[in-house]
Amino acid sequence: MEDLIVRKSGRAGRITLNRPQAMNALTREMVQGIHAALRDWRDDAEVDLVVIDGAGERAFCAGGDIAALYQAAQNGDHETGRTFFRDEYAMNAAIADYPKPVVVLLHGFVMGGGVGIGGHASHRIVGDSTRMSMPEAGIGLIPDVGGTWLLARAPGRIGEYLALTGARIGAGDAIYAGLADSYIPEDAWPGLIAELERSGDTRVIKGSPPPDSPLADRDLSVFGRPDVEAIRRALRDSDDDATLSLLESNSPLSMAAGLMMVRAARDDERLQDALSREYRFTHRATQEADFLEGVRAALIDRDRTPDWQAAASEEDVAAILSPLGDHELTWEDET
């Protein structure tokens, strides 16, 4: 598959996302290819670890290929999106539970589905070009791919802040927020990969002191307020217009649901619990949420002026996150 380069090199299984013209946005075939490679190498004695990187200079992965899901839904096909999310979440869980080290090199834009690959790996490396975000509220979704699980484990109220604003963060913030582990200058990455291939040993990963984390010095306590409107009021009262403007541009339903889901994920015992909750939203997204309007405004017409229509009361949030019955996302042990 041209969009995904899978091979063994030395002691390493190597996966390279190879759609640089699309910022390595994930197709269903790429998702399935990553998962298949992980299955193949699980019991392969020649593979001691897995290394995942992205081709091109701009992005490790800018997310899923949501334009394709939009086009399918516009034609009345909602199953294409549901199947994509199911396959993607299964791949996310496989990375999180993998019995061998998974090393990811997260350069450039790491957004949405890119966080779903990188955020759950055992060894997460960032560099100076890293720009990480979970911007789903801006297109009528929620931080999925296990994003609510990751954000729930960030210090303080960083998780709520990132979920509601979709703000981009650099290497220092990514490490402080628990979304990455090591900062290594990117000119050292080729040599590191070569050494990982030669040795099959993650002890060769030697991080450098990371850049400063602006988030570490910010007071984000307003994001502990009980709901989105209370957070908005607090931001207005504190004259934080820059942060308030980020919230004002996003889907009200997505923010309300995302806020609840990040907080709910703090009580989850495993990533799969958060993924199943996220799937309740994404299963319904093309029919009942603001997803199609968000994608239209961001990627199709590119007018950046979405006309959000989905209601965002507590009852609306409860409805879109209610159990799916026979369509509920369930899990089987891959071992």
pLDDT tens, N- to C-terminus, the chain (335 residues): 699 999 999 999 999 999 999 999 999 999 999 999 999 999 999 999 999 999 999 999 999 999 999 999 999 999 999 999 999 999 999 999 999 999 999 999 999 999 999 999 999 999 999 999 999 999 999 999 999 999 999 999 999 999 999 999 999 999 999 999 999 999 999 999 999 999 999 999 999 999 999 999 999 999 999 999 999 999 999 999 999 999 999 999 999 999 999 999 999 999 999 999 999 999 999 999 899 999 999 999 999 999 999 999 999 999 999 999 999 999 976 65
The CATH number given to whatever domain includes residue 213 is 3.90.226.10
Is 114 within a domain? yes
pLDDT of 332: 79
On whether residue 183 sits in a domain, the answer given is yes
Q: Is residue 81 in some structural domain?
A: yes
Phi, psi of 4 (to 5 degrees): -145, 120
Question: Has residue 269 been placed in a domain?
Answer: yes
| Interhelix angle 228-237/158-165, nearest 10 degrees | 100
pLDDT for residue 305: 93
Unique residue bearing structure tokens 């963060």:
169
Within-domain flag for 333: no
Q: Has residue 294 been placed in a domain?
A: yes
**Residues carrying an active site annotation:** 64, 113, 136, 144
86 contacts: CB under 8 Å, gap ≥ 6? 279, 329
Give the tokens for residue 18: 């190879």
Spatial strand order in the sheet of 59-61: 59-61, 109-111, 131-133
Quick check: 174 and 132 in contact, CB under 8 A?
A: yes
Q: What is the pLDDT, as a whole number, of residue 316?
A: 96
| Domain assignment of residue 229, given as a range | 4-327
The answer to the question of residue 153 being in a domain is yes
Instruction: Look at the chain and report how many structural domains it folds into.
Output: 1
Residue 289, pLDDT score: 87
pLDDT value of residue 147? 98
Considering the domain boundaries, does residue 71 fall inside one?
yes
- Residue 134 confidence (pLDDT): 97
pTM: 0.96
